[in-house]
Amino acid sequence: MIAFVAGVLLGVSGSVHCAAMCGPLVAVADGAATRKRGVSRWRGRAMYHGGRMGVYALLGVAAGASGAAIEGRGFGRGLAIAAGLALVVQACVAAGAARGVAYSGLGTAASQRLTGAVSRAAGWLRRHGLARPPVMGALNGLLPCGLVYAALIAASGIGGVSAAHAGTAAPAAAAPAAPASSGHAHR
């Protein structure tokens, strides 16, 4: 229950970020996928967010299972500490407090490769008429995002699949209000 509440708080607090980063994707999915197939705008959005939340939940289950496996080997406390430190470092970098830290660019390069792969997949799906709202939402769930990374780090530190699932699905469920309304604002 604590993981779910923490996840909801993360989702609500990150709604502005979600609207700014993913709102345009919702608007594109709205126009491209829903009108062509006679799906209502709100039903299309619900399917889009369902696909996105499904991917987040699966990622959370994977992170929680990994954390549980590490905990089962006797390294649970170390994993929880490492996860907590990773969250603090991520917050410091995001806040600009770690400006003097040497940065290799490895994360940026990996993010660019992942974004490129998702973009190519979306293009292929569009060309083949498969760009349905849940599929495009699922692809959105694979895009690099600091809030998702924070939820996954926390989920791995929880050390259990069900709590990790709740901790990653809850932010996804709490945040769609902002992107859904920003998709509506483009009309």
Give residue 36's pLDDT band: very low, low, confident or very high (50, 70, 90): low
pLDDT at 169: 60
Q: Say if residues 141 and 56 touch (Cβ distance below 8 Å).
A: yes
Q: Say if residues 131 and 28 touch (Cβ distance below 8 Å).
A: no
- Residues 150-156: what's their mean pLDDT? 79
**What pTM, to 2 d.p., does this model score?**
0.72
Concatenated DSSP letters of 97-124: TTTTS---SHHHHHHHHHHHHHHHHHHH
pLDDT at 187: 37
pLDDT at 97 over 70: no
